[in-house]
Amino acid sequence: MKPTITNYFHFSSNERRGVLVLLVFCTLTFSLPSVLQQFRSKSRTDFSEFEATVQAFKKASGANIGQPFDFDPNAATEEELKQLGLSPKVAQNILRFRSKGGAFRKPEDFKKIWGLEKEDYERLHAYIHIGVQKDQYHKNVNSPEDPEYFEFDPNTASEKDFYRLGLSNYTIKSIINYRTKGGVFRKKEDLAKIYSLKQADYERLEPYIAIPDGNKYTKKTTEKIDINTADEETWRSLPLIGQGRARQIVKFRNRLGGFTSVDQVGEIYMLPDSVFQVIRPQLMLESPKLQPININAATTDELMLHPYINRKQAGLITAYREQHGPYQKTQDVLNIKAFTDMDWWEKVSPYLSVE
C-alpha cells in the first residue's frame, strides 16, 4: 500500500518522548541565563583604589630619579645629566644641541630639548642655574669669545667667574675637581700647574690672580658652627668651603626643611666626602628646627621638591590621600604597600606632618 503524506507526521511513542526531551532541553538552554541573573549579586566590586594606585605607578614610571641638585645645562656633563634622572637619550640630545652651537640662555630654553618629558622639566626647573649672563655664550660654549678681566681668587672663584674669564669647560672642571679633592692654590704659580690650563691662558690671567697673603686656607675658624642656623658667610669660614659650596649647603638645608643630623651635610652633591671629613669635627647640631610638609595639603609637585621624595613616592602619597581621605598621622603613609624601605622612612618621616 502506497504511504500517504499523513504517514510522515505520525510519531511513535519513542519518537514523541524524544521530541519532548528536546523541547525541554531547548527551553532550559534559552531561559537558564535569565534565571541565574536573578540570583547574581547586584553589587559591583570597587576597583577605583587599585586603579588609582596603578595610575600613580604609571605616572611615576620611567627613568630612575636621582636627588636633584643645581646645574648649568650649558656645562653639565653627560654623567651629571643622568644623575639628575634624565635618560641617556635625552642627555645625548642636550650634548648634541650644545655641540652644534646651541646655548641655554634662560631656564625655559631647557624644555625645548627633544625627548625631554614635561614632568622632568617641571621637576628640574627650580634647579637650573645658568652660569653666565645672556649673550655671554657664543657659537662655541666651550670658551667665551670676549673674556672679561677682573681680580679673582682661584680658591673661591665660581664656575661662572671662570667662564667670564674665558676658560674652557674642560679647564674649569679640572680646577673645580682639584679644589674638591682638597687642593689649594697658595700662590699664583700653583694655577699654572693645572694640566689642562694653556700657558697662554695663564699668562693673560696671571696679573688678575689675587690670592690673600698668609695661610688663609689653613687658618680658618676652628669654632664649631650650628648647621641649622649658619649662613653662607659662616660656612665659608670652614676649611675648603668657598662661595659655591656654601651656597649649595644652605640651599640643600632650605629644601630639606632643616637638618636632623650632621651626617646629612655629607649628602650634598657638590661636597666630596674628603671635604666633609675635614669639616665634620667643626659641625654641631643644636635642637633641630624643621619645617615639615603637610601631607594633607601638599600637591604631588610640592612633595617631589623635597630631596628625599621622588616623583613616584609623591604620586603615591597624594593618590592614597585622595582615595582614603586625610592622613590621621604620618605613620599612615606606611599603609601604602609600595613603601617597604624603612631606612627611607626614618629619613623622611621627621619632615612630614598632618597639619
CATH number, domain with residue 308 = 1.10.150.280
Grid cell 666630596 is found at 272
> Looking at 233, 252, 284, which one is the last position of a domain?
284
For 9-37, what is the mean pLDDT?
A: 76
pLDDT at 239: 85
Q: What is the DSSP letter of 352?
A: E
Residue 173: inside a domain: yes
Question: How sure is the predictor about 11, in pLDDT bands with cuts at 50, 70 and 90?
Answer: low
Alpha helices in the chain (DSSP H): 13-39, 48-60, 78-83, 88-99, 118-124, 159-164, 169-180, 199-205, 232-236, 243-256, 273-279, 300-303, 311-324, 342-348
The 3-state DSSP class for residue 201 equals helix
pLDDT at 39: 64
Do residue 203 and residue 184 come from a single domain?
yes
Question: How sure is the predictor about 320, in pLDDT bands with cuts at 50, 70 and 90?
Answer: very high
Q: Is the pLDDT confidence value at 69 over 70?
A: yes
Residue 59: inside a domain: no
Residue 13: inside a domain: no
Q: Is the pLDDT confidence value at 219 over 50?
A: no
Q: Is the pLDDT confidence value at 224 over 80?
A: yes
CATH number, domain of 242, equals 1.10.150.320
Q: Could you give the number of structural domains in the chain?
A: 4
For 192-202, what is the mean pLDDT?
A: 87
pLDDT at 241: 86
Alpha-carbon gap, residue 311 to 21, rounded angstroms: 66
Question: How sure is the predictor about 353, in pLDDT bands with cuts at 50, 70 and 90?
Answer: very high
The overall average pLDDT reported for the chain is 80
Residue 240: inside a domain: yes
How is 105-143 classified by DSSP, letter by letter? -SGGGGGGSTT--HHHHHHHGGGB--SS-TT---S-TTS
Q: Is the pLDDT confidence value at 42 over 80?
A: no
pLDDT at 268: 87
Range of the domain at 92: 78-127
- pTM listed for this prediction: 0.45
Q: Is the pLDDT confidence value at 108 over 90?
A: no
Alpha-carbon gap, residue 109 to 119, rounded angstroms: 15
Residue 51: inside a domain: no
> Looking at 165, 197, 216, which one is the last position of a domain?
216
Residue 238: inside a domain: yes
Q: Is the pLDDT confidence value at 231 over 70?
A: yes
Do residue 146 and residue 209 come from a single domain?
yes
Of 30-39, 108-117, 125-134, 179-188, minimum mean pLDDT range: 125-134
Q: Is the pLDDT confidence value at 306 over 90?
A: yes
How is 225-252 classified by DSSP, letter by letter? EETTT--HHHHHTSTT--HHHHHHHHHH
Do residue 146 and residue 201 come from a single domain?
yes
What angle (nearest 5°) sits at the alpha carbon of residue 145, between those of residues 144 and 149? 75
For 91-97, what is the mean pLDDT?
A: 88
Do residue 241 and residue 266 come from a single domain?
yes
Question: How sure is the predictor about 302, in pLDDT bands with cuts at 50, 70 and 90?
Answer: very high
pLDDT digits (tens, 9 = 90+) for 244-256: 889 999 999 999 9
Do residue 160 and residue 212 come from a single domain?
yes
Q: Is the pLDDT confidence value at 293 over 50?
A: yes
Residue 36: inside a domain: no
Question: How sure is the predictor about 63, in pLDDT bands with cuts at 50, 70 and 90?
Answer: very low
pLDDT at 330: 92
Q: Is the pLDDT confidence value at 158 over 90?
A: no
Q: Is the pLDDT confidence value at 41 over 70?
A: no
Do residue 263 and residue 320 come from a single domain?
no
Q: Is the pLDDT confidence value at 299 over 60?
A: yes
Residue 53: inside a domain: no
